[in-house]
C-alpha cells in the first residue's frame, strides 16, 4: 500500500501506467531521465502524500501527473517537465501570495533551472517569486515563505472555523 523506493536507482525508468500504490516514497531516489507522465502521485490528509524529498529528479517527466500535496523538499528538479501537472487543489484560482506560500511549503530547498518546465506560465512566475538564485544558473526555492507572506483565505471566508460548537468538528460537515 505504501511502496518504499527510498534511495532507489531508477535512472531512465519508464513508469508510465505503473501502479505505484498509495503515496509512494521516493525520498533520496535517483529518477534522472525517468518518465512518470500521467501518474496519480498525489495524496490525501487521511493517508499522507507522496514523498520526493531530496530526490534527484533531473529531466524527470511528470507531464499531466497528479501530484497533489507531494513533498519535493530539497529535491533537484533541474530540467524536470511538470507541464500540466497539479501540485495543489485550487492551483489555477489561488492568489499569487497563496501560490508562493504553497510552492515554498511543498518545494522548500528544492533546486531548479531554466530548463525546468512548470505546469503553466503563472506557476513559472510563482516559482520564480518563491526562489532565489543559487550557483551556476540554478535557483533554490526558499525553505520558508518570505516574511509577511501567508496563505490567504478565499474571498468572503472567515478566518475562524464556523462550527458554532455544534457536534464533532471532524464529522459535522456544516450541518
pLDDT tens-digit map of 57-75: 999 999 999 999 999 999 9
- Quick check: pTM over 0.85? no
- For residue 4, the model assigns a pLDDT of 94
User: 66: Cβ–Cβ under 8 A, 6 or more apart, which residues?
Assistant: 39, 40, 41, 42, 85, 86
User: 54: Cβ–Cβ under 8 A, 6 or more apart, which residues?
Assistant: 27, 28, 73, 74, 75
Q: How many CB atoms lie within 10 A of CB 67?
A: 24
Residue owning grid cell 535517483: 30
Amino acid at each position: 500500500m505504501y511502496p518504499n523506493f527510498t534511495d532507489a536507482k531508477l535512472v531512465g525508468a519508464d513508469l508510465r501506467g505503473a501502479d505505484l500504490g498509495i503515496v509512494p516514497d521516493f525520498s533520496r531516489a535517483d529518477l534522472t531521465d525517468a518518465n512518470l507522465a500521467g501518474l496519480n502521485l498525489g495524496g490525501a490528509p487521511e493517508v499522507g502524500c507522496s514523498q520526493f524529498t531530496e530526490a534527484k529528479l533531473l529531466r524527470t517527466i511528470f507531464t499531466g501527473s497528479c501530484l497533489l500535496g507531494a513533498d519535493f523538499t530539497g529535491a533537484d528538479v533541474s530540467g524536470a517537465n511538470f507541464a500540466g501537472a497539479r501540485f495543489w487543489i485550487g492551483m489555477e484560482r489561488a492568489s499569487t501570495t497563496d501560490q508562493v506560500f504553497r510552492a515554498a511549503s511543498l518545494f522548500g530547498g528544492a533546486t531548479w533551472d531554466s530548463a525546468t518546465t512548470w505546469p503553466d506560465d503563472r506557476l513559472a512566475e510563482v516559482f520564480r517569486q518563491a526562489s532565489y538564485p543559487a550557483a551556476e544558473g540554478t535557483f533554490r526555492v526558499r525553505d520558508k515563505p518570505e516574511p509577511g507572506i501567508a496563505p490567504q483565505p478565499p474571498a468572503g471566508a472567515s478566518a475562524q472555523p464556523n462550527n458554532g460548537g455544534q457536534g464533532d468538528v471532524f464529522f459535522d460537515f456544516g450541518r
